[in-house]
Amino acid sequence: MKKWLITLLVIGTAIFIIGGWLSGKYNSFVKMEEVVNEAWAQVENVYQRRADLIPNLVETVKGYAAHERETLEAVTNARSKMGGQVNVGADVLNNPQAFENFQAAQSELSSALQRLMVVVERYPELKADQRFAELQSQLEGTENRIAVERRRFNETVRDFNSSIRQFPGNLIAGMFGFNQKVYFQAEAGSEKAPKVQF
C-alpha cells in the first residue's frame, strides 16, 4: 500500500510540475504575442498620423504649386490606395502576403511624399510659408517615429519568434498554434546607394 501511495505521489508531483511548466511557457508566449501586437498597434498609430497629415500638406502645396497636379495626384492616390490599410489589425502579422501588401502600400506613399518634397524645392515662397513649414516638420518627425516604431516592432518579433522556435518551446508553440510573425524589411533596391548628379 505504501509503495502504491508513493508511486501515486511521485506521478502526481511530476504531473503538477510538468503542468505548471507548460502553463508558464504558454502564458509567456501569450504575453510575448501581446507585446508584438502592442508594437504593431504603435506602428499603425504612426502610419495613421502620417496619413492624417497628408491632406493638409497637399492642400497647402496646391495653393502654391497648382500646376504640379501630377505629383499632387500621386500623393493623394497613394494615400487613398492605402485607405483601409493603415489600421489592418494584428491578423496581418500571421499572413506574409497581407503584410507585404501593407508594406508596399506604405512604401508607395513614402515615395510619393518624397517626390512632393522635391517639387516643393522649386517654390521658395512655399518653403517660407509658416503652415507648410509646420506640416513639413510634423511629417519629418512622423517619418522618424515610423522608423523607431518599426525597429521596436522588429525587436519584439525577434524575441517572440526566437522563443517559439527554441526547444522545447517549439513543441508547446506548435501544440497551441503560435506561429512566427513577419518582420518589416528594407524596400527592394534600398541596398544600392542613390545616384547624386549635379
Cell 513614402, located at residue: 110
Cell 502592442, located at residue: 38
How does pLDDT run across 46-103, given as a tens digit for each residue?
998 988 888 888 888 877 776 676 777 778 877 777 665 555 677 788 888 888 888 8
Three-state SS for 156-195 is HHHHHHHHHHCCCHHHHHHHHCCCCCCCCCCCCCCCCCCC
pLDDT at residue 128, rounded to an integer: 75
pTM over 0.85: no
Which parts of 96-176 fold into alpha helices (H)? 96-120, 124-128, 130-165, 169-176
